[in-house]
């Protein structure tokens, strides 16, 4: 599933390609996405201009000159790309927005777990996020808030990091990679961490997210950016998907366990359950990447 770095890459790719463009036509595919597309939305979109595109957690938000918001979630295999209309159309296309510069904004999703819906205005959008209790962005993660959130949770670190109410945008890949950089076992309970360990984990989250954005995210199977290019951070993985391969720090074989219902990868020597593994290699990230 695309996580924050992948969604941020899509947004950055699309911004120069769709902002300022007017929707001339909308075509829908024969099969519905997780949230069915309402044909009444077509009349509310046609003739209107894209004013801005941004991200919140794993959500893509497209602002229109009418004040409405197009809210897109890529699900597991979703791809949102801007292509010339002359580019051959792949299968599994569910939405095509024909734009006034002879390009198309295309939403493709093989497994159809993604969604696209039109919201009336920014207030409606924020009400939705409030109802979902969406947590802060990683680069807005206050140290005090994060210490409190982790220390009060009698859950594994993996479960805490996957909880979008704690921090928005982190998923399976970057939870594993952040724990690796912090030298913390993903199965350790939040209540048992020291304040220094929580701070180390926060720094590791910032580091891995920033580094992944620089590499355009991770392409494991279906993910591509908004321009159709693949990500490259999968070449930088320390633990994720590397079961049995040597740890890049100590050489021990990477282990895999199911934690919080998800495959979790870690070094059994650098990330021990008793907290006595090798020291973290994480560095402090002092600023967020430019939007």
Per-residue pLDDT of 176-210, as tens digits, reads: 999 999 999 999 999 999 999 999 999 999 999 99
Q: Which of 31, 42, 55 is nearest to 97 (CA)?
A: 42
Q: Tokens for 126? A: 């924020």
Q: Tokens for 267? A: 């070094």
pLDDT at 79 over 50: yes
The SS3 call for residue 81 is strand
The SS3 call for residue 154 is coil
pLDDT of res. 277: 56
Residue 276's pLDDT band (cuts 50, 70, 90): low
Q: Which of 225, 219, 214, 222 is nearest to 240 (CA)?
A: 219
pLDDT at 156 over 50: yes
Percentage of residues of the chain with pLDDT beyond 90: 90
pLDDT at 283 over 90: no
Residue 118's pLDDT band (cuts 50, 70, 90): very high
- Provide CB contacts within 8 A for 122, sequence distance 6+: 63, 67, 69
pLDDT at 279 over 60: no
Report angle CA 256, 248, 157 to the nearest 5 degrees: 45
Residue 282's pLDDT band (cuts 50, 70, 90): very low
Catalytically annotated residues: 2-3, 58, 262
Angstrom CA distances, 71 to 22, 54, 130, 205, stand at: 17, 10, 15, 26
pLDDT of res. 205: 98
Q: Tell me what the mean pLDDT of segment 141-148 comes to.
A: 98
For residues 61 and 70, the answer to whether their CB atoms sit within 8 Å is: yes
pLDDT of res. 290: 41
Domains defined for the chain, CATH in brackets: 4-131 (3.20.190.10), 138-266 (1.10.8.50)
* DSSP assignment letter at 280: P
pLDDT at 284 over 50: no
Residue 53, Cα to own-chain centre: how many angstroms?
A: 15
């Amino acid at each position: 599933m695309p996580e924050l770095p992948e969604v941020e890459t899509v947004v950055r790719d699309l911004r120069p390609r769709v902002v300022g463009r007017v929707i001339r036509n909308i075509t829908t595919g024969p099969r519905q996405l997780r949230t069915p597309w309402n044909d009444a939305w077509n009349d509310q979109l046609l003739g209107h201009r894209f004013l801005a595109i941004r991200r919140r957690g794993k959500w893509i938000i497209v602002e229109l000159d009418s004040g409405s918001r197009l809210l897109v979630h890529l699900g597991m295999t979703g791809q949102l790309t801007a292509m010339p209309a002359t580019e051959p159309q792949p299968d599994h296309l569910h939405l095509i927005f024909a734009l006034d510069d002879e390009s198309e904004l295309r939403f493709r999703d093989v497994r159809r777990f993604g969604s696209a819906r039109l919201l009336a205005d920014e207030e409606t959008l924020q009400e939705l996020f409030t109802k979902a209790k969406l947590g802060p962005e990683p680069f807005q993660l206050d140290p005090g808030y994060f210490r409190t959130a982790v220390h009060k949770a009698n859950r594994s670190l993996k479960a805490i990091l996957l909880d979008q109410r704690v921090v928005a945008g982190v998923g399976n890949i970057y939870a594993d990679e952040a724990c690796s950089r912090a030298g913390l076992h993903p199965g350790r309970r939040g209540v048992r961490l020291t304040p220094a360990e929580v701070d180390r984990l926060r720094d590791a989250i910032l580091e891995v997210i920033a580094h992944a954005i620089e590499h355009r995210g991770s392409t494991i199977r279906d993910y591509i950016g908004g321009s159709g290019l693949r990500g490259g951070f999968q070449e930088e993985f320390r633990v994720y998907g590397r079961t049995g391969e040597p740890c890049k720090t100590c050489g021990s074989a990477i282990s895999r366990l199911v934690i919080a219902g998800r495959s979790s990868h870690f070094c059994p020597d650098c990330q021990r359950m008793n907290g006595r593994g090798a020291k973290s290699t994480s560095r402090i990230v002092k600023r967020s990447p430019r939007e």
